[in-house]
């Protein structure tokens, strides 16, 4: 059944009347997506879109991937959930596979239902292990929406409260395009950030529990530090006994193309102590979790369970999805097709003065939008691009501290033809937004 635009508008009005004001929606006329296939989704009015954002939202591999649908429906037909108080074969199997992939020797895995809860668990473990409630986090970071994860979120547009259960110290390193670090070489930048970290630790009384960091900042606008930054941090952390928690909620499972995990671009001194994951691993089913060194994960002295974390139906999805992406080398696909897409977008940007930078790793690509001819980030222009892209049948995201970065993260199975098509549509949308911004 196809709805009219009026039906969608009525649903929007009901949404606004009953859901919180801060649960913001994309687009002036928000979308109601009703089904998907591969890299495409359809709205309730029957319009089809190429999905250049859903890959990072949840649908990492492909919409309605038959292998995942089959695994979920077979498991749901048997039993959806029992309790983590009983043995579960799918949970043990997925934990074994993730432990083996983590690169952490003697790894232990704990499943949750979201990225927020995964990071919350990591913080609980790190603070309990180190007996400290001091945490290092990165400026411009995002780690979740709970009280604890907001307390380590440096991106203030996603920090709805300034209260925090921790003493959080924010470190430089996530974004260098602006401010005093702009213009430094990679080596100089790393040295400056390390010196800043050392200085901060010298001025901090007591032992810090952990550094939590996204290898590529997601909500923060897909900004990656130079390779090796976290390896250089690690040397300092090790000297102080501070744990390294890598938030791989957006960067895991091959998305960055060159590596399976984002931390592997910083692998100088081996894997992090704890690594958190969520979003795409279930290809749309609610899975999150933390994997880490046994000594740290086993630190809790009382019971701590997540009622739905590790439910058989989500684990079945995770197992089917993981098998698919490994068997089809989707990490390699992210590297190849993502590389081509970045090239196309850079070529486009060269002719547009509303674009300041195109950057990316694999299928995680950020495009900074500015007021044409200036260096000033323009969230208004970014919103215009989103709308213009939607009108042309392309969905993209936005982010960054001011919302002026376009975020492109298609499902990992994106084809070359779809990459070319999406780049063309985005080019048209950028040109339209540029001419409208220049005219206003």
Query: Which positions lie near ligand PMP, rule CB under 6 A?
Result: 114-116, 119, 142-144, 214, 218-219, 247, 249-250, 278-279, 288
Closest approach, Cβ 49 to ligand PMP, in A, equals 21
Closest approach, Cβ 141 to ligand PMP, in A, equals 8
* Residue of closest CB approach to ligand PMP: 115
> Which CB sits closer to ligand PMP, 132 or 141?
141
Q: Record the tokens describing residue 304, joined without a space.
A: 């701590």
Distance CA 282, CA 58 (A): 8
> Which CB sits closer to ligand PMP, 318 or 427?
318
Closest approach, Cβ 142 to ligand PMP, in A, equals 5
Q: Which helix (H) or strand (E) holds 235?
A: helix 229-240
Let me know: does 278 contact 287? Beta carbons within 8 Å. Answer: yes
Closest approach, Cβ 115 to ligand PMP, in A, equals 2
Closest approach, Cβ 288 to ligand PMP, in A, equals 6
> Which CB sits closer to ligand PMP, 115 or 410?
115
Let me know: does 56 contact 364? Beta carbons within 8 Å. Answer: yes
Closest approach, Cβ 10 to ligand PMP, in A, equals 28
Q: What are phi and psi of 368, to 5 degrees?
A: -85, 125
8 burial (CB, 10 Å; 0-12 / 13-18 / 19+) is middle
DSSP character for 145? S
> Which CB sits closer to ligand PMP, 215 or 422?
215
> Which CB sits closer to ligand PMP, 371 or 407?
407
Beta bridge partners of 185: none
> Which CB sits closer to ligand PMP, 219 or 224?
219
Instruction: Please name the residues in contact with 199: beta carbons below 8 A apart, sequence gap of 6 or more.
Output: none
User: How would you label 82-119 residue by residue, b for 16+ Cβ within 10 Å and e otherwise?
Assistant: eebeeebebbeebbebbbebbbbeebbbbbbbbbbbbb
Which residue matches tokens 């924010």?
170
Closest approach, Cβ 421 to ligand PMP, in A, equals 27
Closest approach, Cβ 300 to ligand PMP, in A, equals 21
Beta bridge partners of 103: none
Q: How far apart are the first and last CA of the chain?
A: 40
Q: Record the tokens describing residue 151, joined without a space.
A: 């307390």
Closest approach, Cβ 6 to ligand PMP, in A, equals 32
Beta bridge partners of 213: 246
Distance CA 231, CA 265 (A): 9
Closest approach, Cβ 143 to ligand PMP, in A, equals 5
> Which CB sits closer to ligand PMP, 52 or 381?
52
Beta bridge partners of 43: 33
> Which CB sits closer to ligand PMP, 219 or 320?
219
Helix/strand/coil for 23: coil
> Which CB sits closer to ligand PMP, 304 or 415?
304
Let me know: does 279 contact 58? Beta carbons within 8 Å. Answer: yes
> Which CB sits closer to ligand PMP, 151 or 372?
151
Let me know: does 109 contact 98? Beta carbons within 8 Å. Answer: yes
Instruction: Please name the residues in contact with 430: beta carbons below 8 A apart, sequence gap of 6 or more.
Output: 348, 349, 352, 354, 355, 367, 369, 385, 388
């Amino acid at each position: 059944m196809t709805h009219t635009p009026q039906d969608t508008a009525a649903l929007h009005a009901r949404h606004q009347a009953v859901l919180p004001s801060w649960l913001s929606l994309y687009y002036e006329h928000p979308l109601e997506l009703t089904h998907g296939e591969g890299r495409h989704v359809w709205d309730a009015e029957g319009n089809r879109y190429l999905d250049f954002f859903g890959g990072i939202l949840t649908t990492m591999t492909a919409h309605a991937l038959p292998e995942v649908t089959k695994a979920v429906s077979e498991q749901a037909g048997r039993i959806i959930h029992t309790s983590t108080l009983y043995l579960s074969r799918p949970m043990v199997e997925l934990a074994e596979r993730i432990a083996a992939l983590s690169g952490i020797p003697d790894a232990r895995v704990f499943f949750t239902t979201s990225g927020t809860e995964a990071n919350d668990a990591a913080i609980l473990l790190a603070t309990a292990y180190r007996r400290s409630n001091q945490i290092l986090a990165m400026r411009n970071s995002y780690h979740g929406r709970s009280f604890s994860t907001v307390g380590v979120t440096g991106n203030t547009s996603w920090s709805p409260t300034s209260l925090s259960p921790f003493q959080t110290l924010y470190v430089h390193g996530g974004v260098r395009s602006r401010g005093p670090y702009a213009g430094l070489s990679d080596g100089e930048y790393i040295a400056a950030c390390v010196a800043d970290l050392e200085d901060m630790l010298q001025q901090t009384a007591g032992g810090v529990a952990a550094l939590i960091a996204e290898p590529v900042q997601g909500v923060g606008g897909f900004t990656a530090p130079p390779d090796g930054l976290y390896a250089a941090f690690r040397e300092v952390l090790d000297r102080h006994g501070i744990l390294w928690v890598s938030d791989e909620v957006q960067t895991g499972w091959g998305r960055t193309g060159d590596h399976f995990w984002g931390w592997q671009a910083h692998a100088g001194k081996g894997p992090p102590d704890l690594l958190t994951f969520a979003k795409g691993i279930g290809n749309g089913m609610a899975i999150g979790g933390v994997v880490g060194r046994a000594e740290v994960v086993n630190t809790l002295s009382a019971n701590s369970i997540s009622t739905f974390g590790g439910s058989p139906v989500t684990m079945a999805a995770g197992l089917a999805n993981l098998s698919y992406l490994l068997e089809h080398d989707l990490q390699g696909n992210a590297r190849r097709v993502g590389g081509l897409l970045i090239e196309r977008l850079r070529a486009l940007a060269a002719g547009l003065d509303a674009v300041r930078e195109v950057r990316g790793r694999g299928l995680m690509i950020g495009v900074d939008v500015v007021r044409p001819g200036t260096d000033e980030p323009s969230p208004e222009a970014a919103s215009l691009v989103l709308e213009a892209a939607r009108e042309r049948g392309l969905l993209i995201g936005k982010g960054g501290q001011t919302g002026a970065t376009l975020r492109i993260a298609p499902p990992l199975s994106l084809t070359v033809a779809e990459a070319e098509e999406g780049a063309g549509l985005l080019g048209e949308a950028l040109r339209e937004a540029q001419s409208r911004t220049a005219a206003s």
